[in-house]
Chain A
């Protein structure tokens, strides 16, 4: 029982306070690769702090949906973060919802975010919501199928079980099915977190922006909450990826030492993955909106092949 509480608290803290760091790391690394100096790694913390203290402007056209959205987004993302194994193979709340719950919680958040975008009445909001819902919709089957492939391997949708079975048989990630599924999930991750080549988080150009367009009217603490949730979502998905496929160093209990070691492992894996993301971002240009489906189709095919190969091997 006490262990449960420790686990929940630790993981909550982890998700809350590690996520901006990852975002910052990605930003800095990207700048460096583009031979810019770039902001400090801690810049996201500063941004959040600043936003938190700023006043905010609510559009007159907006209704309570606009106000509720940040809270819902925050809550769903954080809860999703509690359902996944981060540093311990035993995800604290995995009993209350497996991988399906994670995906659908994120979907709930997105649902409200899109509504918030429409609520402002400005055409950017609608544009953003439309594109966001479209892309997430066509990203869904690839994501799910890849997730299924993993789940089928473990014979469960409970992420703890999945992680433990992965632990049980290490080097499993070398199996072709795992590699393919990983590739598919990686593309899905890029789409979900809105990074190049699907979306450019840094742009405010109406032709290209998706996520930014939705939250264009948000300001102050609300904007802060949304940015933070975005960072958390990124962390959650990356954690899911690394821990399901490369379960090295996942501690099996919540003793301090174990936590410490696995925390190191965890951050190391995250950094590697982040580096990979950055690599993709810097080496690719953003795709036209109607090219994105092709990318995601590739992802779907990959995961389908992953499925078939589990059937074969």
Chain B
């Protein structure tokens, strides 16, 4: 809880700095330092809670009814606080140099006020244990995030993005509010401990309504499709350290809420519930990655990948729900672990990716990948860290992304054997689509990394890019290290989930999932499948070294020269010859044309004959399906209805008197006998 204090201090200091305009260069550093301390303290607290298996709770009642400032660090909360504090630490280290470089001088105070407020409210969201307090923390998080998103509010884009984010979040919290109140009708009290397992006691209709409302409400924050449109609009326009936090952990608040509701407040849910979660997960994952492939704005691309990974997490959750309703606690545990673990992993590597993207932005002054290229030479370490993140998010061995996706596969597969009914078919299909998603993600990150960092620079900004400062690099390094550790040491990390599963399902999970004294990860049992990322990593090293040895022994005499790449005989290879991001994703755009409905136009200027064009302008854009077919009609109809309604305020006093008169007469006629 001392972490909260540090954040509060950070806020206070931020405000002070805002009030007292002239502050030295030390000032933002101090603020970042404060939030860093907060993060570290919380890291300690959460780890302590997770490993010592001890719940620490703390409560303070206020005058206002139902509002008790009660904070409880149970395993589930501690797990998410762990993720939060990892990211918060990295982000604040990153900010040491980021804030002074990319924010106007005197605004650093108010910026870090909101930053600390965001971290504080996130901590409270994860730890609050009474409904009203939770909702308050939730809204605080939303609002502070909003102000951070619109921090560069001079730009139209960021204002629009922020507004969309704020409005949709409010809609979501509205649904959450009703959902929670429906739950609370069943339980007398509004305390989370009283809400435990309340789902069973409700009447089916109430239970279903509350479930759907809460699922969608949290889904807005998590960015599930079709409630996702704010996410690619808001995340990219924020300052990069904020985008990292938002894509990394703020959307996880939605996941936390779902975990809390699905597995703590509800026991076994009907099949349709789990199925809907699973389906939403699949859709989000697939569409998310497909839209990501079409982006050549680096940060928008990453934002769409957040949607994809949320989808993967929800696949785990949905499977867990289904297993629970079919009565297979062990499988439910496996699926739940898969989902939760992927949540943590995604938090880490997405934060890493956004931070390095921020570095790239700072160097290249654009988010458009078509302007980048060749950065690997000018900013080698950023490139390396981005590569690590890319491998992790593509779910390739031996990094952490692979582990959690592997667990998800295993859960889905064992679902087939376990579940009796026809729903069993859903599991392998989900698995296959997950495979498709992962492969597409790999393709997408080949594009992202290749176009951004490799080959020749496509813009002069990129050509004179410079490596980012030490603190920013070290933040990325730390996260990259965490990616590797979580990947290789997965089997050692798994016991962390024991208390959570204990709390939810009532037994420890790691004995079933870990074998070979912590070296091998299994899917329930050695027989049903096993993997060991650590061994794989070692073997890869050895096998990779083999040809190297061979090279040293025999290949000495063969020369090694540097020469120009094949340029079809043109005079010299220039950036114009390079493959562009748009071109890279063209085949997929064609294959999924039914979804994207791409629009292209080509204008060629030529002097002599059409065969010798002077310049060719090609532009192609895809149709934003949901915006065009769902949200725009909705917005228009609402506004039309509103402007129709406004006619009642005609300005004529006679009309006004008539309203009153009619009301009076009607009430006299029907009211009195009422």
Which residue in A57, A103, A134, A300 is a CB contact (below 8 Å) of B588? A134
Q: Give the docked Cα–Cα distance between A136 and B555 (Å).
A: 33
Report the nearest B residue to A66, measured CB to CB.
Answer: B454
Which residue in A79, A130, A158 is a CB contact (below 8 Å) of B584? A130
Report the nearest B residue to A162, measured CB to CB.
Answer: B529
| B402 with A104: CB separation less than 8 A | yes
Give the total of B residues in contact with A, Cβ under 8 Å.
89
| A59 with B450: CB separation less than 8 A | no
Tell whether A131 is near chain B: CB-to-CB under 8 Å: yes
Q: Which residues of B contact A129 (CB under 8 A)?
A: 446, 450, 579, 584
Report the nearest B residue to A57, measured CB to CB.
Answer: B563
Q: Which residues of B contact A313 (CB under 8 A)?
A: none
Q: Give the docked Cα–Cα distance between A97 and B409 (Å).
A: 13
In the complex, identify which listed stretch (B128-136, B536-544, B631-639) lies at the interface while the others stay far away. B536-544
| B428 with A307: CB separation less than 8 A | yes
| B560 with A121: CB separation less than 8 A | no
Residues of B within 8 A of A (CB): 374, 376-377, 391, 394-397, 402, 406, 409-410, 413, 416-417, 422, 424-425, 428-429, 431-433, 435-436, 438-440, 442-443, 445-447, 449-451, 453-456, 516, 520, 523, 526-532, 535-536, 539-541, 543-544, 546-548, 550-551, 554-555, 557-567, 573, 575, 577-580, 583-588, 590-591
Q: Give the docked Cα–Cα distance between A221 and B557 (Å).
A: 12
Q: Which residues of A contact B446 (CB under 8 A)?
A: 111, 114-115, 118, 129, 133
| A148 with B413: CB separation less than 8 A | yes
Tell whether A263 is near chain B: CB-to-CB under 8 Å: no
Report the nearest B residue to A58, measured CB to CB.
Answer: B562
Tell whether A125 is near chain B: CB-to-CB under 8 Å: yes
| B565 with A59: CB separation less than 8 A | yes
| B573 with A140: CB separation less than 8 A | no
Q: Give the docked Cα–Cα distance between A6 and B447 (Å).
A: 42
Which residue in A97, A101, A123 is a CB contact (below 8 Å) of B579? A123
Q: Give the docked Cα–Cα distance between A63 and B530 (Å).
A: 36
Q: Give the docked Cα–Cα distance between A140 and B555 (Å).
A: 37
Q: Which residues of B contact A208 (CB under 8 A)?
A: none
Q: Which residues of B contact A120 (CB under 8 A)?
A: 455, 565
Q: List 15 A-B contacts (CB under 8 A).
A: A56-B558, A63-B377, A72-B544, A74-B547, A79-B536, A96-B532, A98-B530, A101-B397, A107-B438, A120-B565, A122-B566, A127-B579, A129-B446, A144-B432, A149-B428
Report the nearest A residue to B519, measured CB to CB.
Answer: A96
| A95 with B563: CB separation less than 8 A | no
Interface residues of A in 84-142 (CB under 8 A from B): 93, 95-98, 100-101, 103-105, 107-108, 110-111, 114-115, 118-127, 129-131, 133-134, 136-138, 140-142
Q: Which residues of A contact B454 (CB under 8 A)?
A: 63, 65, 115, 118-119, 121
Q: Give the docked Cα–Cα distance between A82 and B543 (Å).
A: 11
Q: Which residues of A contact B566 (CB under 8 A)?
A: 122, 124, 216-217
In the complex, identify which listed stretch (A34-42, A47-55, A246-254) lies at the interface while the others stay far away. A47-55
Report the nearest B residue to A143, measured CB to CB.
Answer: B435
Report the nearest A residue to B554, measured CB to CB.
Answer: A52
| A156 with B558: CB separation less than 8 A | no
| B428 with A148: CB separation less than 8 A | yes
Q: Which residues of A contact B395 (CB under 8 A)?
A: 104
Which residue in B394, B559, B591 is a CB contact (below 8 Å) of A138? B591
Q: Give the docked Cα–Cα distance between A61 and B546 (Å).
A: 27
Which residue in B425, B536, B558, B588 is a CB contact (below 8 Å) of A308? B425
In the complex, the 9 A-B pairs of residues with the closest C-beta atoms, listed nearest first: A126-B579, A118-B450, A121-B455, A55-B559, A157-B529, A133-B443, A59-B565, A75-B544, A144-B435
| B540 with A104: CB separation less than 8 A | no
Report the nearest A residue to B584, measured CB to CB.
Answer: A130
| B547 with A71: CB separation less than 8 A | yes
Q: Which of B402, B410, B528, B529 has the most CB of A within 10 A?
A: B529
| A111 with B396: CB separation less than 8 A | yes
Which residue in B413, B422, B539, B591 is a CB contact (below 8 Å) of A134? B591
Report the nearest B residue to A113, measured CB to CB.
Answer: B446
Which residue in A59, A134, A144 is a CB contact (below 8 Å) of B564? A59
| A158 with B529: CB separation less than 8 A | yes
Say how far B642's CB is from chain A's closest CB, in angstroms: 45
| B527 with A158: CB separation less than 8 A | yes
Q: Which residues of A contact B546 (CB under 8 A)?
A: 74-75, 78
| A123 with B555: CB separation less than 8 A | no
Q: Which residues of B contact A124 (CB under 8 A)?
A: 566
Give the total of A residues in contact with B, Cβ under 8 Å.
86
| B560 with A55: CB separation less than 8 A | yes
Report the nearest A residue to B440, measured CB to CB.
Answer: A137
| B432 with A157: CB separation less than 8 A | no
Q: Which residues of A contact B548 (CB under 8 A)?
A: 71
| A115 with B432: CB separation less than 8 A | no
Tell whether A277 is near chain B: CB-to-CB under 8 Å: no
Say how far A140's CB is from chain B's closest CB, in angstroms: 4
Report the nearest A residue to B560, measured CB to CB.
Answer: A56
Which residue in A122, A151, A307 is a CB contact (below 8 Å) of B577? A122
Q: Which residues of A contact B451 (CB under 8 A)?
A: 118
| A293 with B591: CB separation less than 8 A | yes
| B532 with A107: CB separation less than 8 A | no
Q: Which residues of B contact A60 (CB under 8 A)?
A: 562-565
Tell whether A220 is near chain B: CB-to-CB under 8 Å: yes
Interface residues of A in 192-251 (CB under 8 A from B): 216-217, 220-221, 225
Q: Which residues of B contact A225 (CB under 8 A)?
A: 547
Q: Which residues of A contact B431 (CB under 8 A)?
A: 144-145, 148
| A118 with B443: CB separation less than 8 A | no
Say how far B520's CB is from chain A's closest CB, in angstroms: 7
Q: Which residues of B contact A123 (CB under 8 A)?
A: 577-579
| A141 with B435: CB separation less than 8 A | yes
Which residue in B438, B532, B550, B578 is a CB contact (below 8 Å) of A140? B438
Report the nearest A residue to B446, measured CB to CB.
Answer: A114
Q: Give the docked Cα–Cα distance between A126 and B433 (Å).
A: 26
Say how far A73's CB is from chain B's closest CB, in angstroms: 9
Report the nearest A residue to B383, measured CB to CB.
Answer: A63
Q: Give the docked Cα–Cα distance between A143 and B532 (Å).
A: 22
| A58 with B560: CB separation less than 8 A | yes
Which residue in B439, B520, B543, B591 is a CB contact (below 8 Å) of A74? B543
Q: Give the docked Cα–Cα distance between A131 and B543 (Å).
A: 28
Q: Which residues of A contact B516 (CB under 8 A)?
A: 95
| B529 with A71: CB separation less than 8 A | no
Q: Which residues of A contact B577 (CB under 8 A)?
A: 121-123
Which residue in A119, A138, A143 is a CB contact (below 8 Å) of B455? A119
Q: Give the docked Cα–Cα distance between A103 and B529 (Å).
A: 14
Q: Which residues of A contact B591 (CB under 8 A)?
A: 134, 138, 290, 293
Q: Give the docked Cα–Cα distance between A56 and B555 (Å).
A: 11
Say how far B457's CB is from chain A's closest CB, in angstroms: 10
| A111 with B547: CB separation less than 8 A | no
Q: Which residues of B contact A53 (CB under 8 A)?
A: 554-555, 557-558
Which residue in A82, A127, A157 is a CB contact (below 8 Å) of B528? A157
Interface residues of A in 149-174 (CB under 8 A from B): 149, 151-152, 155-158, 161
| A75 with B559: CB separation less than 8 A | no
Q: Which residues of A contact B453 (CB under 8 A)?
A: 63
In the complex where A95-B532, A97-B536, A157-B523 touch, is A63 in contact with B429 (Cβ < 8 A)? no
Tell whether A273 is near chain B: CB-to-CB under 8 Å: no
Q: Which of A53, A57, A70, A95 has the most CB of B within 10 A?
A: A95
| B429 with A97: CB separation less than 8 A | no
Q: Which residues of A contact B456 (CB under 8 A)?
A: 61, 121
Which residue in A55, A141, A152, A289 is a CB contact (below 8 Å) of B413? A152
Q: Give the docked Cα–Cα distance between A144 and B376 (Å).
A: 34
In the complex where A107-B439, A111-B442, A115-B454 touch, is A70 in contact with B547 (Cβ < 8 A)? yes
Say how far B582's CB is from chain A's closest CB, in angstroms: 10
Say how far A90's CB is from chain B's closest CB, in angstroms: 14
Report the nearest A residue to B589, measured CB to CB.
Answer: A134
Tell whether A76 is near chain B: CB-to-CB under 8 Å: yes
Report the nearest A residue to B555, measured CB to CB.
Answer: A221
Report the nearest B residue to A119, measured CB to CB.
Answer: B454
Q: Give the docked Cα–Cα distance between A141 and B428 (Å).
A: 10
Q: Give the docked Cα–Cα distance between A220 and B557 (Å).
A: 12
